[in-house]
Amino acid sequence: MSQTGSVRVVSEKEKRKALFASFIGSAIEWYDFFIYGTAVALVFNEIFFPSFDPFVGLLLSYVTFSVTFFIRPLGGAVFGHIGDKVGRKTSLVLTLVLMGGATFLIGILPDYNTIGIVAPILLLLFRCVQGIGIGGEWSGAMLLAVEYSEDKKRGFFGSIPQLGVPVGLVLGTITFSLLTMLPEASFLAWGWRIPFILSAVLVLIALWIRSTLDETPIFQEAREQGTIKKAPILETLRNHWKMVLVGVALVAGTTCPFYIFSNFSIAYSTNYLGIDRSFILNAITIATIITMFTIPLFGKISDRIGRKTIYLSCLLSILVFAVPYFYFMSLASGTAIVIATIVGFILWSVGWSIQGTMYAEMFSTDVRYTGMTLGYQLGAAIAGGSAPIIALLLLDKYETWVPLSLIIIIATVLSLVALYYFRVSKDMQTEG
C-alpha cells in the first residue's frame, strides 16, 4: 500500500476474510433494501394504502421507498463519524443491526385493515431506520475491502463489495418471483412477508463473520500515529467540501439509471404495459446475474487502464442508451424488454464496479469514511431517491415514455462534469 507510514503486513488469509466480510454484509444490506423496493411495486399500495386511488397509492408507496434516500445522508454522517473516529469495524456491526432489525419488523407489521393509519406511519418509521443503517454500510464495506488491498489490486478489491447490489437484488427478486406463484390472496396476506422475516437469519450470519475481523491496517496505523480527527465531519466540510460536491454529482449517472432499470421498470411494465410481473422480475434477475461477472471484470480492468477511463465509458454509453431503453420497453414485447433490461444493467455495472473505489480514493484516511459517505449518500438521495417518483409523475402527465429518457440524460451529463474534477488524494496515489 502506498499510504505514508508503516502499515502492518496483512496475510493473504486476512485479506480474503476481509473481502468476504465486506461482500456478505453488503449483499444482505442490499437484499433488505431491494425487497422493500419490489414490495412497493407489487403489494404495498394495496395493503398499506388501500383507501387511495391506485395511482395515489402507488405514488405514496414510492414516497416511503424514496424517503430512505434522504435519511441515508444522516446515517452517513453518524456512521462516518464512528468509522473515522472509533473504527470501521464498530460502524459496520451497528449498520447491520439497524438495517436487519428494521427489515424484520416490516415483515411482521400489521396492515392498514388491521391497525389503520398506524400501519403506514410505522412502515415509514422502519424505512427511515433502514435508511440510517444503509447510509453507513456502503462506505464501511467499501473501506473494509479497499483498505485491505494492495495498490495494484485496489480496483478489483473495491468491486467485490459492489457485488452486494446484484447479489442482494437477485436474492430478493428470485424470492418474490417464487412467491408471486402463490394465489393472489395468499401473497397479499402473508407471502410478501417471508423475504423480510428471512433477513434476520442472514443478518446473524453476517454479524458473526464481521465480529471476528480486525480493524483495517490503514485505520490502525492512523490511530497509532494519532492522526484521528476529533470531529471528522467538521474537518470534511471545512477542507474537503469540493470533493464532497464532486461525489454528489458523480453518483448521479449510475444511481438514477439503476433505479429506473431495476425499480421503476417493474411498476411501468406491470401497471402501464400490461406485462406479467413474474416476467419482468425474471428479466431483471437474468440481467443482474450477468452483472455478477461484469462487475469484478471491470474492477480488474480498471487496475490496468485507470478508473476514470472506465467511468467515462460507462457514462457515455448510458447517455446514448437512454432513449433506446425506453423505446424498447414501450414496445411491450418480451424480447425487447429482456434486451433493454440486460443492456441497461451491463452498462450500469461498468461504472458501479469501480465507483466505490473512486470515492475511497478521493479522501485521505482521517476523513475517508465521512467524506465518501456524504458525497455518495447525498448524491444517491438526489438522483436515486427522486428518479422513480419523477418518472411516475412524468408518465402520468404526458402518457408517453419520451420525457422519461431526459431524467437519465440529465443525470449522466451531471456526472460527466463531475468526472472532470475528480482527483485522487495523495495518500491513495499509487507508488511508482
Q: Which three cell numbers stand for residue 283?
A: 428479466
Q: What is the pLDDT of residues 4-59, one digit of tens each?
A: 445 556 677 778 888 888 888 888 888 887 788 778 777 877 788 776 666 766 67
Closest CA to 215 of 24, 85, 377: 85
Local confidence band at 3 (pLDDT 50, 70, 90 cut-offs): very low
DSSP state of 51: T
Q: What is the pTM of this model?
A: 0.81
Nearest to 156 by CA among 347, 254, 303: 303
Please give the Cα distance from 379 to 244 (Å, whole number): 9
Secondary structure element (H or E) that encloses residue 96, with its range: helix 88-107
Backbone torsions φ then ψ of 3, nearest 5 degrees: -60, 145
Kindly report, residue by residue over 234-245, the tens digit of the pLDDT: 888 888 899 999
- pLDDT 10s digits, 175-185: 887 887 888 88
Rounded to the nearest 10 degrees, how much is the dihedral formed by the CA atoms of 281, 282, 283, 286? 130
User: Read out DSSP for 184-202?
Assistant: HHHHHHTGGGHHHHHHHHH
CATH of segment(s) 12-214+230-424: 1.20.1250.20
- How does residue 431 score in pLDDT terms, banded at 50, 70 and 90? very low
Least confident span in 75-79, 332-336, 360-364, 381-385: 381-385
How many CB atoms within 10 Å of residue 72? 28
Enter the DSSP assignment of 331.
Answer: T
pLDDT in tens, 158-201: 999 999 888 988 888 788 878 878 888 888 888 889 999 988 88
Output the pLDDT for position 300.
Answer: 95
Task: Write down the domain spans for the chain.
Answer: 12-214+230-424
pLDDT tens-digit series, residues 310-350: 999 999 999 999 999 999 988 988 899 999 999 999 999 99
pLDDT in the model for residue 62 = 67
